[in-house]
Chains A and B, each alone.
Chain A
Amino acid sequence: GESVGLHLPTLSVQEGDNSIINCAYSNSASDYFIWYKQESGKGPQFIIDIRSNMDKRQGQRVTVLLNKTVKHLSLQIAATQPGDSAVYFCARGSQGNLIFGKGTKLSVKP
């Protein structure tokens, strides 16, 4: 069925290190994927998106990788900062809405 899941519910990294957050999806018909960051008490904040005709897309300090063969999506954050501490959600587009994963809580240690 349609679902979007994450490999780990929590991730702790040292400030300055790179972070990698993973996501798996089940529906191969998906052609649009998004990563969101949600800080406590706030709504999800758009980070980066990617369409299925691409396998990599880069933003400022962030990179999204899409592996359609194994239905895997990842978000890489370079030089992780304390301000990156938040819950990260992957989502895929489906029939006019987004289907979200459960989220990974990223903690950055100083």
Chain B
Amino acid sequence: KAGVTQTPRYLIKTRGQQVTLSCSPISGHRSVSWYQQTPGQGLQFLFEYFSETQRNKGNFPGRFSGRQFSNSRSEMNVSTLELGDSALYLCASSLGQGGNTEAFFGQGTRLTVV
């Protein structure tokens, strides 16, 4: 069974641009959560999607958004990029509700904003 797949693996963007990251969860998993990982703040929750609906949201500005498709694949978008958005963005998939069952992470997308 394939794991969680995130694309692209690496991305370099310029301040002010926008970016879209993609996540394909494990087959059969309906919950997809996104996390931002930085050396200073560690792993921080962005949002969770389940059956195409955002169920939970972390404490990030509105520039961070996401969506989930009917096949459970998810995308997250960051608009008007800032230098501080440079981070490893991780996607996790779960069979049930995020935070209550095993969550499996992808390799992440390393975003660098210059």
Contact = CB atoms under 8 A, between A and B. Distances in A.
Contact of B43 (A45, A46, A89, A96): A89
A61 interface: no
Contact of B45 (A42, A98, A101, A103): A98
A110 B48 CA distance: 41
A93 B99 contact: yes
Nearest to B3: A43
A34 B58 CA distance: 19
A34 B103 contact: yes
Interface of B: 4, 6, 33, 35, 42-45, 48, 55-56, 58, 90, 92, 97-108
Interface of A: 32, 34, 36, 41-46, 49, 89, 91, 93-103
A100 B43 contact: yes
Contacts of A45: 105
B97 to A, nearest CB: 6
A88 to B, nearest CB: 12
B103 to A, nearest CB: 6
A45 B90 CA distance: 12
